[in-house]
Amino acid sequence: MTREKKDPRQMDLLDLIENDKLSGERREALRGILSSTQPDRSWRGQAIVPPDSLLDELVGLFERETDTPLEIPAFLTLHALAAYLLDMGVTVVIAGSIVRPDLWTTILAPSGSLKTLATSVICQVMPVRLMPETTTAARFIEELVKNNRSAWFQDEWAQVLKRIQNQSYAEEMHDYLLRLHDNKPISRRTARGSIEIADPALVIVGTTVQETFLDNVSAESMLDGFMQRFQFIMGDRDPARPPDMFPIYRVLEPAKLEPARAAWAELAAIPLHTEYRVGLDAEETFADAFRRLFAQNREIPASFFRRIMWRTFKYAVVYHVLLSKACALIDPEDIGWAIRVTSMHLADARRLLDSYNLNELETLIRKAETLQGKLGRRPTKRELIGNVRGVKNGAVASFILDVMSRPKQENATPSAPPSANDQEQFQSAA
């Protein structure tokens, strides 16, 4: 069957080929274009979005109608669902430990990334109890009493962290958050009496601009136990979705929201359990992923790694519900989706640490190892300072020598199951 003849001005490529209208030069040009690789326009987080899910509907809405980094709606949605489950009293049991879906995440994104708009959209779609933004210890406790087991979405998060870490008047806030993370009782005496919260829990999302974060949170603070309780996600502008494509954001129009509302209605009809259990096959899926990711991410501090990986079980129950599963058993598929999220956290933790000149430090270590190879022996601190540019004093030289003295295990692939001590460390890290 031949294609209908058209005016030459209306011919498509197949028309031109069929009608032998391509000259040698044009033919070669087309062949060259066909042999080239199409640019990958997929968002890196697409791997964490189950097709036709509530998450898919909300991320897709922002992809079509805004220029915001898609990490914003994706992680706000996951955390809003986690807060919903937390509010409903949902827990997860893993190896005797009880885990709540109380996720804590810092999102670093450019200024004007529509966090407030994304939050408004999500609240139009599903019920989310939000704790008001607050920056003082006294106000925090007053709001926590009224909004325990809700979602605290805090903007200008870097400045809040700086005050918590460095200002004497905010020391109480530091202690409250540590206790909140461990779900330990919190109390405070006031002029009107005492406030007590027996079983506190919150989902926390702090949003900030990366440059502001680096200005306000030191490398030293990044490595302490307090900061390790937060996961990190970095959102970049999508060059395929520049601002001039979206002079008006239309994400709040009822017709635009309807698919997401329908997806939520389906989820809301699924009965929830107060207790979900991680199956043995799901445990093995987690253990395999732990070993693989540990071998790939040895540069990340071990405490960072363990804390991030433990969050897998919190994400797993979110995905279990997101996938409309009615049973109370967390399965390998749930763990699989959750591992994809924790892998993003691992990658972005590393990327954030790189912003504190981690790459430069690694370069110095490699240079020191090259010097050691030339000398045929371990260099002294004086030799490092004299021969490796960038090693400016004895403290730097001592640190590099300490790192060099540790055995390298880049190719190690542990096969033994976690020991009882490993599990105890996991639980304490959580």
Q: Do the Cβ atoms of 309 and 290 come closer than 8 Å?
A: yes
Amino acid, single-letter form, for residue 239: P
- Each residue of 124-137: pLDDT tens digit? 999 999 999 887 88
Q: Are strands 91-94 and 186-190 parallel, antiparallel or unpaired?
A: unpaired
Give 195: exposed, middle or buried? Use CB within 10 Å, 0-12, 13-18, 19+.
Answer: middle
**4-13, 245-254, 380-389: range with lowest mean pLDDT:** 4-13
- How high is the pLDDT of residue 404? 81
For residue range 168-195, what is the model confidence (pLDDT) as tens digits? 667 788 899 999 999 999 999 877 788 8
| pLDDT score at 430 | 42
The SS3 of residue 313 is: helix
What local confidence, expressed as pLDDT, does residue 409 receive?
Answer: 41
Helix, coil or strand: residue 366: helix
Asked if residues 336 and 313 have their Cβ atoms less than 8 Å apart, the reply is no
pLDDT band at 325; cut points 50, 70, 90: very high
Running DSSP on this structure, what letter comes out for residue 73? H
pLDDT tens per residue, range 131-169 = 998 878 888 999 999 999 999 999 999 999 988 877 766
Q: Which residue has the higher pLDDT, 421 or 408?
A: 408
Give the residue, 421 or 275, on which the prediction is more confident: 275
How confident is the model at residue 37, as a pLDDT? Answer: 46
pLDDT category of residue 429 using cuts at 50, 70 and 90: very low
β 275-278/329-330 pair status: parallel
Residue-level pLDDT at 425: 39
In this predicted structure, the answer to whether residue 420 has a pLDDT above a threshold of 50 is: no
pLDDT interval class at 356 (50, 70, 90): confident
Name the percent of the chain in helix, strand, coil, to the closest 5: 55, 10, 35
- Output the six-digit token pair for 231: 């996961």
413 versus 312: the higher-pLDDT residue is 312
Residue carrying structure tokens 């408004």: 120
| pTM for this entry | 0.80
Cα distances (Å, whole numbers) of residue 67 to 17, 76, 96, 119:
38, 16, 44, 16
pLDDT at 414: 33
pLDDT of residue 192: 78
Spatial separation of the C-alpha atoms in residues 358 and 366, rounded to whole Å: 12
Burial class (CB in 10 A: 0-12, 13-18, 19+), 137: buried
**Could you report the per-residue pLDDT of 298-312, keeping only the tens digit for each?**
767 777 788 889 999
- pLDDT grade for 1, boundaries at 50, 70 and 90: very low
List the one residue out of 104, 16, 112 whose CA is nearest residue 69.
Answer: 112
Reported as a single tens digit per residue, the pLDDT across 28-62 is: 565 555 544 444 547 899 999 999 999 999 999 99
Highest-confidence range of 13-17, 118-122, 130-134, by mean pLDDT? 118-122
Residues 55-105 pLDDT 10s: 999 999 999 999 999 999 999 999 999 999 999 999 999 999 999 999 999
398 vs 270, residue with greater confidence: 270
pLDDT of 24 above 80: no
Average pLDDT, the chain: 85
286, 331 contact by CB (below 8 A) = no
Report which of residues 62 and 19 the model is more confident about. 62
- CA 392 to chain centroid, in Å, comes to 35
Q: What is the DSSP string of 223-279?
A: TSTTGGGSEEEE----TTS-GGG-SS--TTSHHHHHHHHHHHHHHHTSPP-SEEEE-
Contact (CB, 8 A) for 226 and 177 = yes
Residue 404 near residue 372, CB atoms below 8 Å: yes
Closest CA relative to residue 66, chosen from 251, 234, 208: 251
| Rounded Cα distance, 180 and 177, in Å | 5
Check: CB of residue 418 under 8 Å from CB of residue 94.
Answer: no
Query: Is the pLDDT at 413 greater than 50, yes or no?
Result: no
Q: How many residues are recorded in the chain?
A: 430
pLDDT digits (tens, 9 = 90+) for 247-284: 999 999 999 999 999 999 999 999 999 999 999 999 99
Q: What is the pLDDT of residues 199-229, one digit of tens each?
A: 999 999 999 998 899 888 887 777 777 888 8
Q: 186-190 and 193-197 as β-strands: parallel, antiparallel, unpaired?
A: antiparallel
Which of 197, 201, 208, 196 lies closest to 83, judged by CA?
Answer: 201
